[in-house]
Chain A
Amino acid sequence: DTAVSQTPKYLVTQMGNDKSIKCEQNLGHDTMYWYKQDSKKFLKIMFSYNNKELIINETVPNRFSPKSPDKAHLNLHINSLELGDSAVYFCASSQWDEQFFGPGTRLTVL
């Protein structure tokens, strides 16, 4: 039973399109995150939600909109995709201590 799951695993799309990535955790954690890993493998936080409420919003363009329908889900919607959005996006969850990461979604914008 996967602890943190993401869909899709791969996403290839044209510039200007709108796409969503879904994340679900079955660990009962209160906190969920979205991270972006660029082509140089550098990880950076984008958003953090605690119990469905936005806690952290790093300087991410407002084309990116996270949505947490319940504390087990944190989805990421991206409008008007740009070439620079190509990256691997990781979802994670935590409760007090270690973070559990999803398998990542590789987004390629053509």
Chain B
Amino acid sequence: KNEVEQSPQNLTAQEGEFITINCSYSVGISALHWLQQHPGGGIVSLFMLSSGKKKHGRLIATINIQEKHSSLHITASHPRDSAVYICAVSRNPYNTDKLIFGTGTRLQVFP
């Protein structure tokens, strides 16, 4: 079993819908990362969080350390949000330790 599990694996939505992607992990962590990989292949870091909640535009990430769970929410989804969203955890506060990745959630938003 992977140390970082994501659900769902695939997600389709209509433009405008509210989207939630979940991530659960089984190891002690110092931080959790949400990454976005576009169809072209490039990977962008969306959030790094170790507690609470962060918001960038229409994206919101939350983490519950006790439950070892994080969620990524997209409000008012748009076709340009179509991408693979990857959850990863790091185990060293100085970020020189490795990231352990989830298997990703493929999101397709249709107009």
Say yes or no: B45 contacts A99, CB within 8 Å. yes
Say yes or no: A96 contacts B94, CB within 8 Å. yes
Say yes or no: B104 contacts A31, CB within 8 Å. no
Chain A nearest Cβ from B36, distance in angstroms: 10
Identify the stretch in A13-21, A42-50, A64-72, A75-83 within 8 Å (CB) of chain B at 4 or more residues: A42-50
A98 interface hit (Cβ, 8 Å) = yes
Chain A interface residue bracket vs B: 20 to 34
* Residues from chain A with Cβ under 8 Å of B31 in the complex: 97
Residue of A nearest to B47 (CB): A98
- If over half of B's interface residues share one DSSP class (helix, strand or loop), that class is named, otherwise mixed; here it is strand
Say yes or no: B45 contacts A43, CB within 8 Å. no
Digit string of B84-111 for contact with A (CB within 8 Å is 1, else 0)? Answer: 1010100000111111110110000000
* Residues from chain A with Cβ under 8 Å of B88 in the complex: 43
B76 interface hit (Cβ, 8 Å) = no
Say yes or no: B101 contacts A96, CB within 8 Å. no
State the CA gap A41–B100 with chains docked (Å): 14
* Residues from chain A with Cβ under 8 Å of B37 in the complex: 41
Q: Which of B33, B48, B96 lies in contact with A55, CB distance below 8 A?
A: B96
Say yes or no: B48 contacts A41, CB within 8 Å. no
**Known A31-B95, A97-B95; further 20 A-B contacts with Cβ < 8 A:** A31-B96, A41-B103, A43-B99, A45-B98, A55-B96, A55-B97, A56-B97, A56-B98, A58-B98, A88-B41, A90-B43, A94-B95, A97-B31, A97-B48, A98-B45, A99-B99, A100-B45, A101-B35, A101-B42, A103-B42
Interface residues of B (CB under 8 A from A): 31, 33, 35, 37, 41-45, 48, 84, 86, 88, 94-101, 103-104
Interface residues of A (CB under 8 A from B): 31, 33, 40-45, 48, 50, 55-56, 58, 88, 90, 92, 94-101, 103-104, 106
